[in-house]
Amino acid sequence: MSDTAVPAEAPSSTPYSLAHEVARRRTFAIISHPDAGKTTLTEKLLLFGGAINLAGQVKAKGERRNTRSDWMKIERDRGISVVTSVMTFEFDGLVFNLLDTPGHEDFSEDTYRTLTAVDSAVMVIDAAKGIEARTRKLFEVCRLRDIPIITFINKMDRESRDTFDLLDEIEKTLALDTTPMTWPVGRGRDFLGTYDVLDGGVRLLEGGGAKTGAAEQISIEELGKRHANLDVAAVKEELELATEACKPFDLEAFREGHLTPVYFGSALRNFGVGDLLQGLGRYAPPPRAQESNLRKIAADEPKMSAFVFKIQANMDPNHRDRIAFARLCSGKLTRGMKAKLVRTGKAMPLSSPQFFFAQDRSVADEAFAGDVVGIPNHGTLRIGDTLTEGEDVTFIGVPSFAPEIVRRVRLGDAMKAKKLKEALQQMSEEGVVQVFRPRDGAPALVGVVGPLQLDVLKARLEAEYQLPVDFEVSEFQLARWISSDDRKKLDTFIANNGSSIADDVDGDPVYLAKNEFYLGYTRDRAEGIVFSEIKDVK
């Protein structure tokens, strides 16, 4: 295996050919439990590239927030990050697109959707805590799509759990093989650095010039000389045991999502971050082929195609602008090109796509498969949309998740019902909430994963549409998408359950249930009907 996956080739008409541009891209996200160190690691990764750019926003704690519009106040007041952003940096000839995700679990739907736009993920684990609830949940979402995972065990400068224990926990709770690429020497206060399992040297926490992966390494014997208290024999024994007990790294198993390479470090001390970045460059896959309704689209196909995985409103409070974040799946996007929005069949000029390339917004004139561009629009684009220059494909796999909270929207002013309907349609197309319209004509229901989503909805309806609303508890608590191979069976089920059926934003039927018991009861009797918690994952 070569050091990097980038093919060496002569420049063609553009600086590099499409295949080369695609091969040098790594589009990834970081998954972790709050407090494990995602923000700190992100900052350190960006330092390597030198380029910090802000699509949407980085989780800045401070002045940068004062340009935000009203509903962002919620975020400001509570000190949480609601918005997903994209950060691009270059390192070692590679282009890294880091798709940030909201830290707060109430916005996990956003995170799930963002994970459909990456080719790999870094799983950050707190060395003292191991696998935590949210890490596990996000890992499961990655597994749905076989996204390869690189593990970074963080906070090694603090008291941590036994290394074998941590690896064992990953293997058992996630059913994922592990291969340590580095191994900690000492722990907690006695943590000295990491042993490079492939090269056999030790990189020191102190004075090791941790910034680059190629920082100085010394042998264990040398380490012993420098640290008289170090039990060299014990360290060697542990390393031997580790090499014997662990599976060798297997690129294919990693790329298929069965094995995770593990790096140890401290984001705060900027230690081990270089190893991690090098690992991402060497092993993480370049843009993958994307599944569509017709066929798989390879990233280096010449025709541009992209799908929208995120919509962000109010980046500029003075304009009602909405930025649709689209992940390029194939080809090259150039400013001014026209693409077809497959859902409507209409051409859409990409006159001012925003590239989050290099230092700031709106820089480059072209982007390639694997990149994320922001497309300003006034509500034309919605989540899951496909834009293409080629054939009419629709990318699949941008999922919706059954809401955990369902509420009925109560509008103070009945005259504004039509306006509310439009507003809710827009909000659901943006992915702020899910909207369910009961077929019996009852007022709309909204579904969310976390209660803060309701706060955002309320604030935005008020600020942008002058619609004061409240939410009341509905008789329904659960929503499931229903489908059947047998159209007749589905029609009969819908006819028989009239008042419990609603349409989602796309007009797909949803069954609403009072509680788990009712759901189970109905499901047991509805032969041939599939009740799903997730919509549109292949």
The amino acid at residue 92 is D
In whole angstroms, the minimum distance from the beta carbon of 191 to ligand GDP comes to 10
Alpha carbons 512 and 501: distance in angstroms, whole number: 6
Asked whether the beta carbons of 512 and 406 are under 8 A apart, the reply is yes
> Residues 113, 155, 255, 282: which binds ligand GDP (CB under 6 A)?
155
- In the complex with ligand GDP, which residue's Cβ is closer, 160 or 305? 160
- In the complex with ligand GDP, which residue's Cβ is closer, 40 or 116? 40
Alpha carbons 444 and 438: distance in angstroms, whole number: 7
> Residues 12, 14, 35, 61: which binds ligand GDP (CB under 6 A)?
35
In whole angstroms, the minimum distance from the beta carbon of 475 to ligand GDP comes to 37
Contact pattern from residue 470 through residue 489 relative to ligand GDP, giving x for each residue in contact according to CB under 6 A and a dash for the rest = --------------------
Tell me, what DSSP letter sits at residue 442?
A: P
Q: What single string gives the DSSP state of each residue in 101-152?
A: --SSGGGHHHHHHHHTT-SEEEEEEETTTBS-HHHHHHHHHHHHTT--EEEE
Among positions 36-95, residues that touch ligand GDP (CB under 6 A) are: 36-40
> Residues 129, 134, 137, 158: which binds ligand GDP (CB under 6 A)?
158
In whole angstroms, the minimum distance from the beta carbon of 157 to ligand GDP comes to 5
- In the complex with ligand GDP, which residue's Cβ is closer, 103 or 201? 103
In whole angstroms, the minimum distance from the beta carbon of 79 to ligand GDP comes to 11
The crossing angle, in degrees rounded to 10, of helices 273-283 and 38-49 is: 70
- In the complex with ligand GDP, which residue's Cβ is closer, 42 or 97? 42
- In the complex with ligand GDP, which residue's Cβ is closer, 155 or 255? 155
- In the complex with ligand GDP, which residue's Cβ is closer, 32 or 278? 32
Among positions 161-190, residues that touch ligand GDP (CB under 6 A) are: none
Among positions 227-286, residues that touch ligand GDP (CB under 6 A) are: 266-268
Asked whether the beta carbons of 117 and 309 are under 8 A apart, the reply is yes
Among the listed ranges 155-163, 211-219, 478-486, 522-530, the one in contact with ligand GDP (CB under 6 A) is 155-163
Asked whether the beta carbons of 220 and 176 are under 8 A apart, the reply is no
> Residues 32, 88, 101, 278: which binds ligand GDP (CB under 6 A)?
32
Alpha carbons 52 and 44: distance in angstroms, whole number: 11
Among positions 367-406, residues that touch ligand GDP (CB under 6 A) are: none
Count the neighbouring beta carbons within 10 Å of the beta carbon of residue 38. Answer: 24
Closest CA to 439 of 491, 484, 402: 491
Among the listed ranges 47-55, 154-162, 318-326, 337-345, the one in contact with ligand GDP (CB under 6 A) is 154-162
In whole angstroms, the minimum distance from the beta carbon of 315 to ligand GDP comes to 22
Closest CA to 281 of 461, 486, 49: 49
Among positions 307-346, residues that touch ligand GDP (CB under 6 A) are: none
In whole angstroms, the minimum distance from the beta carbon of 32 to ligand GDP comes to 5
Backbone angles phi, psi at 149, to 5 degrees: -120, 130
> Residues 34, 224, 376, 443: which binds ligand GDP (CB under 6 A)?
34
Distances (CA, A) of 385 to 328, 396, 424: 12, 9, 18
In whole angstroms, the minimum distance from the beta carbon of 134 to ligand GDP comes to 10
In whole angstroms, the minimum distance from the beta carbon of 284 to ligand GDP comes to 20
In whole angstroms, the minimum distance from the beta carbon of 95 to ligand GDP comes to 24
H helix and E strand count, the chain: 14, 32
Alpha carbons 464 and 445: distance in angstroms, whole number: 20
Give residue for tokens 């004139």. 365
* C-alpha angle 220-224-230 in degrees, rounded to nearest 5: 110
Size of the site for ligand GDP (CB under 6 A): 16
Backbone angles phi, psi at 481, to 5 degrees: -75, 140
- In the complex with ligand GDP, which residue's Cβ is closer, 270 or 386? 270
In whole angstroms, the minimum distance from the beta carbon of 327 to ligand GDP comes to 23
The amino acid at residue 44 is K
Among the listed ranges 21-29, 32-40, 176-184, 527-535, the one in contact with ligand GDP (CB under 6 A) is 32-40
- In the complex with ligand GDP, which residue's Cβ is closer, 122 or 308? 122
- In the complex with ligand GDP, which residue's Cβ is closer, 264 or 283? 264
In whole angstroms, the minimum distance from the beta carbon of 102 to ligand GDP comes to 11
- In the complex with ligand GDP, which residue's Cβ is closer, 35 or 140? 35
In three-state secondary structure terms, 392 is coil
In whole angstroms, the minimum distance from the beta carbon of 158 to ligand GDP comes to 5
Partnered with residue 327 across adjacent β-strands are: 307, 372
Closest CA to 401 of 437, 449, 365, 368: 449
In whole angstroms, the minimum distance from the beta carbon of 269 to ligand GDP comes to 6
In three-state secondary structure terms, 421 is helix
Contact between 157 and ligand GDP by CB under 6 A: the answer reads: yes
Strands 202-204 and 217-218: antiparallel
Strands 530-532 and 400-401: unpaired
Tell me, what DSSP letter sits at residue 444?
A: P
The crossing angle, in degrees rounded to 10, of helices 417-429 and 451-465 is: 130
Binding site for ligand GDP (CB under 6 A): 32, 34-40, 103, 154-155, 157-158, 266-268
